[in-house]
Amino acid sequence: MKLSNVSYVLFLITLLIINMCIADLCIADGGVHTDNIVVILDASGSMKNKFRGDETKSKMDAAKEALQEVLAKIPDGTNIGVLVFSGRNVQNEWVYPLGPKDTNRLVEAINRPEPEGGTPLGRYIRIGANRLLEQREKQYNYGNYRLLIVTDGEAQDPEKVTQYTPEVLNRQLRVDVIGVDMKTDHQLAQEADSYRRADNPGELVAAVTQILAETGGTATDVGGEEAFDDIAPLTPEIALDLIQRITTPASNAAIAVETTATVPKQTNTPTQPQQPTQQPLQGSDRGGNTPWILIGLVVLVAGYIIFRRMGRH
């Protein structure tokens, strides 16, 4: 049986439409494709200092102006959160809780903190990352998720930075760091997805602009045309491996603080055999959406392979 090119293309388009319909029926958009940005802003005492090469304004004032200017231009559909460590006039570390962008409220929130205190960066990396993971769980792993860290000094808890950063990256959250007028590169320079120096106010605006202008790299969405280009040369074995990789979502498990577990004492009391219990659904299975999406992916790839083989005969 020899398939014409037209029939072959029509078949692929049909499979793609079916797969898209399955996904759309199972997951009402409801914001699941929303991008999410959490800014971790250093408001420690050193941020009140002026730039070494530019005495016109403090590092804190420059950071505020850069964030206000650039975040105001972010698309309105984006979720933004601003997390501040240290600082005066900050009753809640989340000066702007992660949620839809409201430019007026966002500008006011960024302007609120005044420099004071230390640099517990590691602790706040964990707080910001866990909030993004919680949001990604709600969005069924769709969308982009990134931490933007703006700081002018090394963390006072470097062991926590060392502990938490790999966990954040392993959960496929993007980490971008801006070192504000630092004499040497930050500890995170070699760990983060990107690191930029900002030795004057202009460079700080440019760094924030460049980072937030970047797209992709953390999304789970794949365009139909790109998907077909990627699977064109696949063998059945590679296709099955690809299905397994695609259908295994990034972990949304929270990054936990290390604790010493208490081991319960063992007793000699005979125990009755435990009856099997139904385990609660985890992750995106709670809504029953994932199985249908997986079925759609399997149908798409399997159908493609079958018709490729039929076309060779």
Q: Per the structure block, which two tokens stand in for 43?
A: 């408001």
Largest CA distance in the chain: 77
Rounded CA-CA distance 110/39 in Å is 10
Q: What is the pTM of this model?
A: 0.69
- 43, with CB counted inside 10 A (0-12, 13-18, 19+), is buried
Quick check: 59 pLDDT over 60?
A: yes
Estimate to the nearest angstrom the gap between the alpha carbon of 214 and the chain centroid.
13
**Higher pLDDT residue, 271 or 39?**
39
Rounded CA-CA distance 123/129 in Å is 10
Task: Give pLDDT, residue 223.
Answer: 45
> What angle do helix axes 201-213 and 59-71 make, rounded to 10 degrees?
30
- Structure confidence by residue, pLDDT tens digits, 80-102: 999 999 988 888 999 999 999 99
Estimate to the nearest angstrom the gap between the alpha carbon of 179 and the chain centroid.
21
Domains of the chain by start residue, with CATH: 1-32+222-249+286-313 (no CATH), 36-213 (3.40.50.410)
Q: Residue range 45-56: average pLDDT?
A: 92
Rounded CA-CA distance 270/251 in Å is 38
Locate all alpha helices (DSSP H) within 171-223, ordered by sequence. 201-213
Q: Which helix (H) or strand (E) holds 150?
A: strand 145-151
- Structure confidence by residue, pLDDT tens digits, 116-171: 999 999 999 999 999 999 999 999 999 999 999 999 999 999 999 999 999 999 99
Question: Residues near 18 by Cβ (< 8 Å), separated by ≥ 6?
Answer: 296, 299, 300
- Structure confidence by residue, pLDDT tens digits, 198-256: 999 999 999 999 999 874 444 444 444 444 454 455 566 665 655 655 555 678 999 98
- Structure confidence by residue, pLDDT tens digits, 7-30: 555 565 555 555 555 545 444 456
Q: Return the closest-CA partner of residue 60 out of 45, 74, 72.
A: 45
What one-character-per-residue DSSP string does 54-72 give?
EEEEEHHHHHHHHHHHHHT
Q: Return the closest-CA partner of residue 304 out of 248, 238, 249, 246.
A: 238
Quick check: 291 pLDDT over 70?
A: no
Rounded CA-CA distance 300/16 in Å is 7
Task: Give pLDDT, residue 14.
Answer: 58
Task: Give pLDDT, residue 113.
Answer: 96
Task: Give pLDDT, residue 235.
Answer: 63
